[in-house]
């Protein structure tokens, strides 16, 4: 063979090899894993990346000590004298909040902006002599401080005579249009699931029910929204943009799918507990938002100044919301001065500092982990630690289990891990475990959570270990695994595993309950919320032993998931030993008790009596007995 021939054969061989590798590269470049439905819209991804944002509940309720205004409070009572939306914005930024949702109109119908379609609004109040506009003031403050802005607009309107008739709808739509047109971009629109019931209704003072699925004509509402602000994510019990998490306590399930079965969940959906977990077989991308108030109530009540959630409690909620593939919507009840109360502000800022401290130093940043499978160069393991959200590691088709192993040169103390799936291709992982190297043996870290889904973000707290290795084992997935980030942290020696609630402090005068055995009575007075007294009738007679001046009754409802025996509306009266009424002291509803069964404090005119009667005029669930976890009289 001539040298020329030889050379040309070698050249041809190189060419073939180069072509093969080019083809292989070309294949690798086109070989992204196929998406697995359902998928998020870009706006839902942008929304979830916000992670924590604030709610502001403020309105006539703030000045009338109510959680749900009946619709008849006088606008003249709305009189914040030091209101400063910039103080809100500064506090929220310092608390790590990326945006804020304002109750532009709550159930009572009172508008925080001078809406021209009615006169039940801020222009009728003494605030800035009727020239104020809190939607404007807050949206301006947000622009100044780099926060995103959004609105809560209650579909339920307890002030309107036409509520529950078709006549109300054009009014409601024009409110929505007004808010969406005049105050810049909103990132979310919040439609509350609480709808219909008692109300003032223009003086009718009756109870109205609506067809919760059809009355508001949501398809029409979505058209309006899409035509004005297509980037806004719509919150509703069942989405479509993001969903309620099925509680008002601020946490999502450990297993939490970002999907729902389309069209199944509507406002008032009875199986709302499912919303904590999502529907594993859902076909609509509707991630969960965890709404919770920093205080027991959503609106400001001076008696809750001592009951603001502690920084540790908020940290716990962060891990169980953002760390459970949801967002955290933290409510600040602005006070009667028109400011975020200093205690709320201090606790929220401290909360943010703790989270920053615990999760800022990623011990595996820039490291190249060992992985048991890699789809190809574009999907290599270094994507897990390159601090980029857009690059991801993926496994080959058909590979739904894998190990990711990090080795440290020197033993490291660790107690937190963060995992993220590349959700533009869908949510996939169904089960994983986290292990650490103990000598030569891999052992699971000690934590008390199910390690099932990951989604946009999964955070896990575990007891501190000092180790030279950490391994994440993905045990099951809906398809090839696609993870974009892993973080391993040491949150400090004092970093908590969980926060455990103690029973709410209820101080009370001594009393006994007429006709109820001592053993049963104890359940309502032992300050253990796990034990619940159930009455046999719809009334309870409280014997103070002697004539005593009283002005407050405290009722802590059943805290179990079933929330048994919730009183919807009550009457409190001074009575005799047999329960014959001497004087009625107060009759009202326990607003929002079904969704938020917190300690209920009823204040009535001071009265001297030996016996008090609590009558349940209506139960949340008809026919149930009264359930009382704790009771107090002051
Ligand atoms: C609930 C409402 O009824 C509460 O008052 C509060 O606004 C909360 C965020 O949503 O459904």
Q: Where are the domains of the chain?
A: 43-358, 370-489, 512-633
User: Does the Cβ of 592 fall within 6 Å of ligand 1?
Assistant: yes
- Residue 565's φ and ψ, nearest 5 degrees, are 70, 35
Centroid of ligand 1 to alpha carbon of 438 (angstroms):
48
Minimum-distance ligand 1 atom for the alpha carbon of 331: 9
Question: What is the mean pLDDT of the segment spanning 204-221?
Answer: 96
Interatomic CA distance for residues 99 and 192, integer angstroms: 19
Percentage of the chain with pLDDT > 90? 85
Rounded average pLDDT over 469-476: 98
For the CA of 67, the closest atom of ligand 1 is 5
Residue 4 to residues 1, 9, 88, 455, 528, Cα–Cα distance (Å): 8, 9, 81, 60, 94
Beta pairing, strands 482-489 & 402-421: antiparallel
**Is 595 a pocket residue for ligand 1 (Cβ < 6 Å)?**
yes
Specify whether the CB–CB gap between 632 and 527 falls below 8 A.
no
Mutate to test the pocket of ligand 1, among 192, 236, 244 (most ligand atoms within 8 A of CB): 192
Tell me how far the alpha carbon of residue 211 lies from the centroid of ligand 1, in angstroms.
19
Strand pairing partners for 437?
442
Does residue 194's CB lie within 6 angstroms of at least one atom of ligand 1? yes
Q: What is the pLDDT of residues 3-16, one digit of tens each?
A: 333 333 333 333 33
Domain at 370-489, CATH homologous superfamily: Galactose-binding domain-like (2.60.120.260)
Provide, rounded to the nearest whole percent, the portion of the chain with pLDDT above 70. 94
Tokens linked to 512: 């006994």
In the reported structure, the alpha carbon of residue 447 is separated from the centroid of ligand 1 by a whole-number distance in angstroms of 33
**pLDDT for residue 621 is more than 60:** yes
Q: What is the mean pLDDT of residues 129-143?
A: 98
DSSP-derived secondary structure for 582-607? EEEEEEEE-TTTTT----EEEEEEEE
How far apart are the CA of 486 and the centre of ligand 1, in A?
36
Residue 446 pLDDT grade (very low, low, confident, very high; cuts 50, 70, 90): confident
Residues 143-158, buried b or exposed e (16+ Cβ, 10 A)? eebebbbbbbbbbbbb
The torsion angle over the Cα atoms of residues 425, 426, 431 and 437, rounded to 10 degrees, is 30
| pLDDT digits 0-9 by tens, 250-299 | 999 999 999 999 999 999 899 999 999 999 999 999 999 999 999 999 99
Q: Residue 305: which pLDDT band, with cuts at 50, 70 and 90?
A: very high
Give tens-digit pLDDT for 363-403.
Answer: 999 999 999 999 999 999 999 999 999 999 999 999 999 99
* Phi and psi angles of residue 33, each rounded to the nearest 5 degrees, phi first: -60, 145
What does residue 166 show for φ and ψ, rounded to 5 degrees? -60, -25
Which atom of ligand 1 lies nearest, measured to the CA of 193? Answer: 11
Question: Whole-angstrom Cα distance, residue 172 to residue 531?
Answer: 44
Q: How far is the CA of 297 from the centre of ligand 1 (A)?
A: 9
53, 109, 248: which to mutate for ligand 1, most atoms within 8 A of CB?
Answer: 248
Task: Please report the sign of the dihedral spanned by the C-alpha atoms of residue 305, residue 311, residue 315, residue 316.
Answer: negative
Which residues, 6 or more positions from 331, have their beta carbon under 8 angstroms from its beta carbon?
Answer: 54, 55, 56, 57, 291, 292, 293, 294, 295, 298
Choose which residue among 194, 246, 591 to substitute to test ligand 1 binding: the one with the highest number of ligand atoms within 8 A of its C-beta. Answer: 194
Residue matched to tokens 């509940």: 57
Angle at 345 between CA 344 and CA 349, to 5 degrees: 120
Q: Is the CB of 193 under 6 A from ligand 1?
A: yes
Q: At the fourth CATH level, which superfamily is domain 43-358?
A: Glycosidases (3.20.20.80)
Site to substitute for ligand 1 among 592, 593, 597, 620, most atoms within 8 A of C-beta: 592
152 Cα to the center of ligand 1, angstroms = 10
Measured in angstroms, how far is the CA atom of residue 407 from the centroid of ligand 1?
Answer: 48
Angstrom distances, CA of residue 134 to CA of 102, 113, 334, 604: 9, 6, 12, 32
Is 19 a residue whose pLDDT tops 90? Answer: no
What is the per-residue pLDDT for 8? 39
Asked whether the domain spanning 370-489 has the same topology as the one spanning 43-358, the reply is: no
Do the beta carbons of residue 293 and residue 57 sit within 8 Å? yes
Question: 509 versus 129: which is more confidently predicted?
Answer: 129
Q: Which atom of ligand 1 is nearest to the CA of 194?
A: 11
Helix (H) or strand (E) holding 545: strand 539-556
Phi, psi (degrees; rounded to nearest 5) at 139: -65, -35
Q: Quick one: CA torsion of 252, 253, 254, 256, rounded to 10 degrees?
A: -90
Which pLDDT value is given to residue 7?
39
What is the distance between the alpha carbons of residues 29 and 543, in angstroms, rounded to a whole number? Answer: 79
Kind and range of the H or E run holding 60: helix 60-64
Residue closest by Cα to atom 2 of ligand 1? 194
* CB of 291 closer than 6 angstroms to any ligand 1 atom: yes
Q: Is the peptide bond before 499 cis (omega within 30 degrees of 0)?
A: no
Q: Are 511 and 606 in contact (CB under 8 A)?
A: no
Kindly give the number of the ligand 1 atom that is closest to the alpha carbon of 592: 3
Q: Which residues are registered as beta bridge partners of 210?
A: none
Confidence at 447, pLDDT banded by 50, 70, 90 = confident
**Which SS3 state, helix, strand or coil, does residue 192 take?**
coil
Q: Tell me if 272 CB under 6 Å of ligand 1.
A: no
Summarised one tens digit per residue, pLDDT across range 484-504 is 999 999 999 878 887 755 444
Other Cβ atoms less than 10 A from the Cβ of 288: the count is: 29
Strand, helix or coil at 259? Answer: strand
Q: Which atom of ligand 1 is nearest to the CA of 291?
A: 9
Task: State yes or no: pLDDT of 328 exceeds 50.
Answer: yes
- For the Cβ of 293 lying below 6 angstroms from any atom of ligand 1, the answer is no
Q: How far is the CA of 37 from the centre of ligand 1 (A)?
A: 32
Helical axes 311-321 vs 342-359, angle rounded to 10°? 50
Query: Of ligand 1's atoms, which has the minimum distance to the CA of residue 152?
Result: 7
SS3 category, 466: strand
DSSP of 374-417, one letter per residue? ---GGG-GGGGGSS-SS--EEPPTT---EEEEEEEEEEEEEEEE
- Closest-CA residue, ligand 1 atom 10, reads 192
Confidence of residue 26 (pLDDT cuts 50, 70, 90): very low
- For atom 11 of ligand 1, the residue with the nearest CA is 194
Q: Is the pLDDT of residue 179 over 90?
A: yes
H or E, element range at 357: helix 342-359
Q: How far is the CA of 544 from the centre of ligand 1 (A)?
A: 35
User: How many A from CA of 396 to the centre of ligand 1?
Assistant: 46
CATH homologous superfamily, domain 512-633: Galactose-binding domain-like (2.60.120.260)
Q: Summarize pLDDT for 528-573 with one digit per residue, the tens.
A: 777 899 998 899 999 999 999 999 999 999 988 788 999 999 999 9
CA 580 – ligand 1 centroid, Å: 37
Residue 29 pLDDT grade (very low, low, confident, very high; cuts 50, 70, 90): low
Q: Separation of 155 CA from ligand 1 center, angstroms? A: 11
Question: Is residue 120 over pLDDT 50?
Answer: yes
- What is the chain's alpha carbon radius of gyration, rounded to the nearest angstrom? 29
């Amino acid at each position: 063979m001539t040298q020329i021939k030889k050379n040309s054969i070698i050249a041809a061989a190189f060419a073939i090899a180069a072509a093969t590798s080019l083809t292989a590269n070309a294949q690798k470049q086109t070989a992204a894993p196929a998406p697995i439905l359902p998928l998020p819209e870009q706006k839902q991804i942008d929304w979830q990346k916000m992670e924590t944002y604030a709610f502001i509940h403020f309105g006539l309720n703030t000045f009338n000590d109510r959680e749900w205004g009946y619709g008849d409070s006088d606008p003249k009572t709305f009189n914040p004298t030091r209101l400063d939306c910039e103080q809100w914005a500064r506090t929220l930024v310092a608390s790590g909040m990326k945006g804020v949702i304002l109750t532009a109109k709550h159930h009572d119908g009172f508008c925080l902006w001078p809406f021209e379609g009615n006169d039940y609004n801020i222009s009728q109040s003494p605030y800035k002599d009727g020239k104020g506009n809190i939607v404007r003031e807050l949206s301006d403050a947000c622009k100044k401080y780099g926060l995103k802005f959004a609105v809560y607009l209650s579909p339920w309107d307890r002030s309107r005579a036409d509520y529950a008739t078709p006549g109300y709808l054009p009014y409601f739509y024009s409110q929505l249009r007004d808010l969406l047109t005049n105050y810049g971009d909103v990132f979310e629109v919040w439609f509350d699931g609480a709808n219909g019931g008692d109300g003032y209704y223009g003086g009718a003072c009756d109870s109205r029910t609506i067809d919760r699925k059809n009355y508001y004509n949501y398809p029409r509402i979505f058209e309006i929204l899409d035509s004005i602000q297509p980037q806004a994510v719509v919150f509703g019990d069942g989405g479509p943009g993001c969903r309620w998490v099925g509680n008002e306590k601020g946490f999502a399930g450990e297993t939490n799918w970002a999907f729902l079965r389309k069209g199944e969940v509507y406002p008032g959906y009875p199986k709302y507990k499912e919303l904590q977990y999502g529907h594993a077989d859902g076909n609509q991308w509707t991630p969960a938002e965890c709404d919770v108030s920093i205080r027991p109530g959503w609106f400001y009540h001076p008696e809750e100044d001592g009951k603001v959630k502690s920084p540790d409690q908020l940290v716990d909620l962060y891990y169980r919301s953002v760390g459970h593939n949801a967002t955290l919507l933290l409510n600040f009840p602005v006070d009667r001065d028109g400011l975020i109360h200093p205690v709320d502000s201090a606790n929220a800022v401290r909360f943010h500092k703790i989270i920053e401290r615990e999760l800022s130093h990623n011990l595996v940043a820039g490291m190249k982990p060992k992985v048991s499978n890699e789809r190809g160069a574009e999907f290599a393991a270094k994507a897990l630690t390159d601090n980029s959200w857009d690059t991801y590691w993926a496994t080959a088709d058909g590979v739904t289990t894998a190990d990711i192993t990090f080795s440290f040169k020197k033993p490291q103390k660790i107690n937190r891990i963060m995992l993220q799936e590349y959700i533009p291709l869908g949510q996939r992982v169904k089960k994983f475990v986290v292990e650490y190297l103990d000598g030569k043996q891999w052992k699971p870290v000690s934590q008390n959570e199910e390690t099932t889904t990951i989604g946009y973000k999964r955070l896990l707290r575990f007891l501190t270990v000092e180790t030279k290795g950490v391994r994440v084992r993905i045990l099951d997935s809906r398809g090839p695994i696609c993870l974009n980030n892993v973080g391993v942290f040491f949150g400090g020696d004092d970093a908590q595993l969980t926060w455990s609630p103690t029973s709410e402090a209820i101080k009370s005068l001594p009393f006994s309950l007429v006709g109820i055995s001592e053993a049963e009575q104890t359940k309502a007075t032992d300050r253990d919320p796990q034990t619940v007294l159930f009455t046999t009738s719809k009334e309870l007679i409280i014997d103070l032993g002697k004539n005593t001046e009283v002005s407050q009754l405290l009722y802590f409802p059943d805290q179990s998931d079933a929330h048994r025996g919730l009183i919807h509306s009550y009457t409190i009266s001074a009575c005799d030993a047999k329960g014959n009424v001497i004087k009625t002291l107060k009759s009202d509803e326990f607003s929002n008790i079904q969704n938020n069964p917190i300690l209920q404090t009823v204040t009535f005119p001071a009265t001297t009596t030996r016996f008090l009667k609590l009558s349940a005029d209506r139960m949340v669930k008809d026919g149930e007995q009264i359930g009382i976890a704790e009771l107090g009289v002051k």
